Amino acid sequence: MRCTPDTWARARRGARADRSGRDAEAIARDLLRAEGWTILAERARTPAGELDLIAEREGLLVFVEVKARLSFREAAFALTPRQQSRLQAAAAIWLAAHPGHGAAGMRFDVILVAADGAARRITDALRAG
């Protein structure tokens, strides 16, 4: 494989996107911890895809998707129907492998992170079906 300027540019963009995603996930993780949530997993990989954060508080299990964009508006529209299906499938796989969580229920939240580091959570953002 030959390295071209375009190949290098794509690699740099990918590295920046990965760093931005990790930074946004750290902001989301800190927000959840400050609200008393216990983080059960970060970047949990399943055959159906990755779950950014999994947290639990008082028996309520929450699967959290983190979206970082320049603004909250852009972040809010970044979760596609295909991604929603993937998240629900990944959550089902994770639950099967980790029984005993979510005695008080479960939900999917989305935490939006703007370029300035501000975060906003949308609770119960996804519904099955």
CATH number, domain at 59?
3.40.1350.10
Q: Does residue 47 fall inside a structural domain?
A: yes
pTM for the predicted model, two decimal places:
0.83
- pLDDT at position 30 over 80: yes
Q: Does residue 15 fall inside a structural domain?
A: yes
Q: Which two tokens stand for residue 36?
A: 């008393």
Q: Does residue 113 fall inside a structural domain?
A: yes
105: containing domain: 5-122
Q: What is the pLDDT of residue 18?
A: 65
Which residues, in sequence order, are CB contacts of 27 under 8 Å at separation 6+?
A: 111, 113, 117, 119
Q: What is the pLDDT of residue 98?
A: 95
SS3 35: coil
Q: Does residue 50 fall inside a structural domain?
A: yes
* Domains held by the chain: number: 1
Q: Does residue 33 fall inside a structural domain?
A: yes
Q: What are the strands of the beta sheet with 60-68, ordered from one edge?
A: 38-46, 49-57, 60-68, 105-113, 119-122
| pLDDT tens, position by position, 46-88 | 999 999 999 999 999 999 999 887 766 666 666 788 888 999 9
Q: Does residue 93 fall inside a structural domain?
A: yes
Q: Does residue 127 fall inside a structural domain?
A: no
Average pLDDT, the chain: 86
